[in-house]
């Protein structure tokens, strides 16, 4: 893959060495076992895949080059570049202003913009309506569009199946920037509906089978369906695509479930299922798959706790937390500063969107095993900070330089 110019402040010498060695040993990416960092009485198991993905590095590269090359111009970001507080704060400190918040609420009205301004489109992409509004001002968004290529792949796949008269079912969070963008692009070509989870997919299936009266659909899926959606006509041919940061297994389960519903409803087999259901397996993001598979591999290690590092509003990170929570105590933090001491940690409960304080999170044992991973928008330097902080709580038999030399 293409390499990007990412500011060195986001890099980690240790983690770069680890990732380089693991890649050389496993070029086909078939080994999802974690990497052991042995500090003596502390063993840290680092996930095989974590941290910046292709789309995030692409966005950061474009954003910082744009700032460097346009010192005399006003530069705006449509909303957060990625869901990481450090990166967004760094962009603000360089003079970049945000036009909207994550929910799409306006901070700076578009009528305050001029054709000479630069507007960066974030990695999640944006809606066709917003693109049209910015272009009408004369802003050349195509030069500063950091939309992830894997998000665009979902749009392209949606467009392809829309041309074959399939309705697009999007598995995603309705208010997430990426889902709003994908919904806009998909519903421009064909009818569309968003399902949050398997429960909503099961409710949608009741409209497909006729178990529920069609008039109830519009209230149940309010703000989640395209304009003029016709329940009777638009659920006869469907295809499922996803917000790229959802749990891959959840998306596949929803697709398999709806495929089965369509097969039973219309009396279809594997040979003719395409008459009613489009195969869209190729819209799952490689980084989402790799990071989730790496967590599943890491969870095979007997451990005392897991720490997941990333932005609190990061969808892909919350799903890594979700996987870890099923197996062991898990602490979701956005920096090493949240570990106040070896006894006290401030961490995020994404289920109710609040920070909580936990005491005695590190067990009183002679030897402790900790699993660590991070989201796709989290800098490796932040993960290194967490590792260093943890190592400082235990008598260390190795220094960071010792560890780096092991992986070089």
Active-site residues, by number, are: 178
Give the Cα-Cα-Cα angle 350, 99, 84 (nearest 5 degrees).
35
For residue 255, the tally of other CB atoms under 10 A from its CB is 25
CA 191 to chain centre: 25
Question: CA separation (Å) from 218 to 2, 225, 226?
Answer: 44, 8, 10
**DSSP codes of every residue in 317-369:** HHHHHHHHHTTS-EEEESSGGGB-SSSEEEEEETTTTEEEEEES-S---SSEE
Q: Which of 273, 176, 159, 161 is nearest to 223 (CA)?
A: 176
- Rounded Cα distance, 326 and 204, in Å: 27
Dihedral of the CA atoms 136, 140, 146, 149 (nearest 10)?
A: 80
Closest by Cα among 256, 314, 253 to 287: 314
For residue 36, what are the contacts with CB-CB under 8 A and spacing of at least 6?
A: 43, 44, 45, 46
Which of 346, 325, 331, 336 minimizes the C-alpha distance to 387? 336
Q: What kind and span of H or E run contains 119?
A: strand 118-120
What distance in Å separates the CA atoms of residue 224 and residue 231, rounded to the nearest whole number? 13
At residue 119, φ and ψ (nearest 5 deg) are -120, 120
d(CA 398, CA 408): 16
- CA angle 167–169–171, rounded 5-degree value: 170
282 CB neighbour count, 10 Å cutoff: 9
């Amino acid at each position: 893959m293409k390499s990007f110019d990412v500011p060195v402040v986001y890099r980690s010498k240790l983690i770069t060495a680890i990732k380089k060695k693991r890649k050389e040993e496993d070029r086909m990416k078939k080994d999802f076992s974690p990497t052991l960092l042995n500090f003596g009485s502390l063993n840290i198991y680092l996930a095989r895949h974590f941290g910046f993905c292709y789309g995030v590095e692409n966005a950061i590269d474009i954003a910082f080059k744009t700032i460097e090359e346009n010192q005399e111009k006003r530069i705006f970001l449509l909303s957060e570049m990625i869901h990481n507080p450090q990166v967004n704060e760094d962009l603000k400190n360089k003079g970049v202003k945000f036009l909207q918040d994550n929910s799409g609420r306006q901070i700076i009205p578009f009528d305050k913009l001029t054709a000479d301004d630069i507007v960066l489109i974030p990695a999640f992409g944006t809606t066709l309506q917003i693109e049209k509004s910015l272009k009408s001002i004369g802003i050349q968004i195509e030069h500063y569009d950091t939309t992830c290529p894997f998000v665009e792949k979902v749009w392209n796949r949606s467009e392809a199946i829309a041309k074959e008269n399939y309705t697009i079912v999007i598995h995603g969070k309705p208010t997430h920037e990426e889902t709003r963008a994908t919904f806009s692009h998909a519903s421009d070509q064909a009818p569309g509906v968003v399902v949050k989870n398997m429960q909503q997919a099961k409710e949608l299936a009741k409209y497909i089978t006729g178990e529920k009266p069609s008039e109830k659909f519009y209230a149940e899926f309010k703000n989640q369906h395209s304009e003029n959606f016709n329940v009777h006509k638009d659920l006869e041919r469907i295809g499922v695509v996803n917000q790229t940061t959802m749990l891959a297994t959840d998306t596949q389960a929803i697709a398999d479930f709806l495929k089965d519903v369509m097969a039973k409803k219309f009396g279809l087999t594997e040979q003719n299922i395409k008459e009613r259901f489009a195969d869209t397996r190729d819209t799952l993001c490689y980084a989402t798959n790799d990071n989730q598979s790496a967590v599943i591999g890491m969870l095979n290690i007997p451990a005392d706790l897991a720490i997941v590092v990333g932005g609190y509003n990061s969808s892909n990170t919350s799903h890594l937390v979700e996987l870890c929570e099923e197996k062991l105590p898990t602490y979701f933090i956005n920096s090493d500063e949240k570990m106040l001491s070896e006894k006290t940690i401030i961490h995020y409960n994404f289920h109710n969107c609040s920070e909580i304080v936990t005491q005695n999170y590190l067990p009183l044992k002679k030897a402790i095993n900790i699993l660590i991973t991070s989201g796709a928008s989290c800098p490796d330097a932040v993960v290194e900070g967490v590792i260093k902080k943890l190592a400082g709580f235990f008598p260390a038999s190795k220094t960071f330089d010792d560890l780096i030399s092991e992986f070089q």
